[in-house]
Amino acid sequence: MADPAAPPPAAASSGPIGIGVVGIGKIAKDQHLPVITSSPDYRLFATTSKSGGYPGFPCYTDIGDMLAKEPDVRAVSLCTPPQGRYELAVAAIDAGRDVFLEKPPGATLSEVEALRVRAEARGVVLFASWHSRCAPAVQPARAWIAERTVRRVQIDWREDVRHWHPNQDWVFQPGGMGVFDPGINALSIATRILPPFHLTSAELRVPANRQTPIQADLAFVLDGGAEVVMALDWLQTGPQTWDVRVETDRGVLTLHEGGQRAEVQGSDGLGPLKRGPHVEYEGLYARFAELVRRRISDVDVSPLRQLADAFTLGRRTIVDPFDW
Ligand code: NAP
């Protein structure tokens, strides 16, 4: 039952949304805070952080303190690793705050479903964000593919974990998802632009001294029978690859750089695409503002479900230990 002492659910309003950010790590500093502080839709009031917060704003070390002492914080953005995000989200929901979840929305599907039900009961907005879906070429690619028959899809997501996630041990701990931490971005694009598909096999390569895979090969089948193959590699040095190649009955489209640009072989183009350093997070925060004002939630777990299937069906191989 809801705590009668807690503030009422955030009311629809036309002014800036008072927001607090929890977990001031790489993504909060690189994307969330620059976008929030430059958007007329938001006003940052506070952070919760064990490492010092964000200069110029109150910093709490406990989310409960921030929620109790900052009534202007009507919405909370959770930028922590997936492990432990559930408890933070419960605290925010129970305090009547709208919640923005970084990807992946939780460590398990059941956690996210419990949050969705809880938010609905409390009358607050819950947003499971998928930043790669806001990459500029993704929506045009979806429209292009919708008018064609897909014959085959090849997803290649190859990056250097030491460069992109230095010393982030949580990625190799249970719930950290390993190479699926970036790989789920590919799955978020694939589940947005392709017809429905499901996993048929997976091979997960797990370092002997770690709990989560560092490489994976997956095979899926689309409704209609076309093959989708996906290669995830976290040991790629040199050029980095985040590509989705979609072969259709009328041309081949390749998304490059995680959806930042698209190349179409054949006569069709995708038109001009907006690009910029924060375009994905600008899109996410515009969407969250719209959800808050309309008082509706958006919790699509389909990328996380594909990932969970890989962990359920995947064959595990132990490979060389990994050290930073
Ligand atoms: P990070 O640099 O390790 O930062 C996470 C922050 O969360 C920490 O700085 C810490 O903030 C807080 N935290 C709370 N519990 C923690 C724990 N057990 N271990 C480590 N940190 C903990 O991670 P990140 O790269 O920002 O990733 C956070 C989330 O954003 C993940 O879900 C990730 O998938 C997603 N994401 C990351 C990127 C990226 O490029 N790195 C891109 C898109 C999405 P305080 O010190 O302030 O308490």
- Residues making up the chain, counted from first to last: 324
CATH number at residue 110: 3.40.50.720
At residue 277, the pLDDT reads 76
pLDDT at 278: 84
Domain end position, chosen among 82, 99, 128 = 128
Q: What pLDDT is attached to residue 270? A: 74
Residues 106 and 219 in one domain: no
- Asked whether residue 168 is domain-assigned, the answer is yes
CA distance 99 to 147: 35
200 Cα to the center of ligand 1, angstroms = 31
Q: Does a structural domain hold residue 44?
A: yes
Q: Are residues 149 and 223 in the same domain?
A: yes
Domain boundary residue, one of 72, 96, 128: 128
Q: Assess whether 76 and 136 both reside in one domain.
A: no
CB-ligand 1 contact for 25 (6 Å cutoff) = yes
- Which residue, 93, 128, 163, sits at the end of a domain? 128
Span 172-206, pLDDT tens digits: 999 999 999 999 999 999 999 999 999 999 999 99
Alpha-carbon distance of 93 to 96, in angstroms, equals 5
Mark whether 22 and 69 lie in a shared domain. yes
**Number of structural domains found in the chain:** 2
Name the residue with the closest Cα to ligand 1, atom 19.
170
Cβ–ligand 1 contact at 173 (below 6 Å): no
For residues 180 and 75, membership in a common domain is answered with no
Query: Which pair of tokens denotes residue 80?
Result: 């922590």
* Cα–Cα distances in angstroms (integers) from residue 183 to residues 69, 157, 245, in the given order: 38, 7, 15
> For ligand 1, is residue 278 a contact (CB within 6 Å)?
no
> Quick one: three-class SS letters along the chain?
CCCCCCCCCCCCCCCCEEEEEECCCHHHHHHHHHHHHHCCCEEEEEEECCCCCCCCCCEECCHHHHHHHCCCCCEEEECCCCCCHHHHHHHHHHCCCEEEECCCCCCCHHHHHHHHHHHHHHCCCEEECCHHHHCCCHHHHHHHHHCCCEEEEEEEEECEHHHHCCCCHHHHCCCCCCCHHHHHHHHHHHHHHCCCEEEEEEEEEEECCCCCCCEEEEEEEECCCCEEEEEEECECCCCCEEEEEEEECCEEEEEEHHHCEEEEECCCCCCCCCCCCCHHHHHHHHHHHHHHHHCCCECCCHHHHHHHHHHHHCEEEEECCCCC
Those residues of the chain that have pLDDT short of 50 are: 1-8, 10-12, 267
Tokens read off for 42: 């938001």
Flag whether 300 is in a domain. Answer: no
In a domain, 252, yes or no: yes
pLDDT at 275: 76
pLDDT at site 265? 82
Q: What is the pTM of this model?
A: 0.95
Cα distances from 230 to residues 53, 149, 243, in angstroms, run: 38, 19, 10
CA 170 to ligand 1 centroid distance, Å: 9
